[in-house]
Amino acid sequence: MELSKLEAMLEGRESQPGQLIEVLQDMQATFHYLPEEGLRTVAERLGVPPIEVFRVANFYKAFTLVPRGRHLLTVCMGTACHVRGALRLLDTVEGQLNVSPGETTADRAFTLERVNCLGCCAIGPVVVLDDVYYDHMTPGKLRRLVTVAYKQDKEEGDA
């Protein structure tokens, strides 16, 4: 964790407990997780008891205490998606990224997750990459999606 980035996030927010969730959102977006030492700093600077900061960090699904990849890829494995080939999608991306659901690639580019339904069964199988939904997914389209994300990272100098 770059301390200077956290300092920038806290600027103008000192002793403002009401800023807690916004600061945690900024941390998650910047570091892709909430580092423990960062949470302690946030508690101290906002004037929020550390136990409350950790409670909030654990409560919301959007926050994670372990490092995530720059990209979050979610494969729906619900019944409707499953019968339309979701297992092949999962196999494809596990092979391409060399991770299992819940894991992050060694280069911290991708975190792979699986869910049991995204609530849009009619357009399945569905995957979500960085909050964007992709419908009627096929193994080939998914492989290309991952490849394009890697390529964009390279162009932006993140990889």
Contacts with ligand FES by CB under 6 A lie at 76, 78-81, 117-121, 124, 126
Q: How near is the Cβ of 86 to ligand FES at its closest, in Å?
A: 7
- Closest residue to bound ligand FES by CB: 78
CA-based max dimension of the chain: 52
Residue with smaller CB distance to ligand FES, 38 or 124: 124
Output the CA–CA distances (angstroms, integers) from residue 47 to 3, 11, 65, 123, in the order listed: 18, 14, 21, 46
For 101, residues 6+ apart whose C-beta sits below 8 A from its C-beta are 75, 90, 94, 112, 113, 114
Residue with smaller CB distance to ligand FES, 72 or 80: 80
Q: How near is the Cβ of 118 to ligand FES at its closest, in Å?
A: 4
Residue with smaller CB distance to ligand FES, 45 or 84: 84
Residue with smaller CB distance to ligand FES, 23 or 126: 126
Q: How near is the Cβ of 146 to ligand FES at its closest, in Å?
A: 19
Main-chain phi, psi angles of 64, to 5 degrees: -135, 145
Q: How near is the Cβ of 36 to ligand FES at its closest, in Å?
A: 34
